[in-house]
Homo-oligomer: A and B are copies of this chain.
């Protein structure tokens, strides 16, 4: 049972685990194009709401999405930065910023909301939506 608090915070250990997942996405999925590492980034029931496409659900569709996104955009890195976090029951809501390095050396900056859940002891993305600033 949680005590009544005006402002709840997310424990540092959870934020550290979230950072590890965010870094895994960049280091394994994007840089090495290891799509199977997405199983350690997204929950089994994750939903992704990308700009320019309908919502997608589930591991296979999410792998297909990122396979095509990496190839189509020429993605070489995605640097994720936590901007705000707030507890949400057994999950965490993150507002963040991502710098995407794409073909031709350009960097595209997007802002995002990720709803996190714990699965198999790891913190993973359960809902993932983003858009560009300009």
Contacts and interface: CB of A to CB of B under 8 A. Distances in A.
Interface string A93-134: 101000000000000000111010000000000010111111
Given A113-B113, A115-B88, A115-B113, A131 B93 contact: no
Which secondary structure characterizes the binding site on chain A?
strand
A49 interface: yes
Contacts of A90: 89
Contact of A95 (B55, B87, B88): B55
Interface string A63-106: 00000000000000000000110011111010100000000000
Contacts of A113: 49, 113, 115, 127, 129
A54 interface: yes
Contact of A55 (B53, B111, B132): B111
9 contacts: A1-B1, A49-B113, A51-B132, A52-B132, A52-B134, A93-B93, A95-B127, A113-B113, A129-B131
Interface of A: 1, 47, 49-55, 83-84, 87-91, 93, 95, 111-113, 115, 127, 129-134
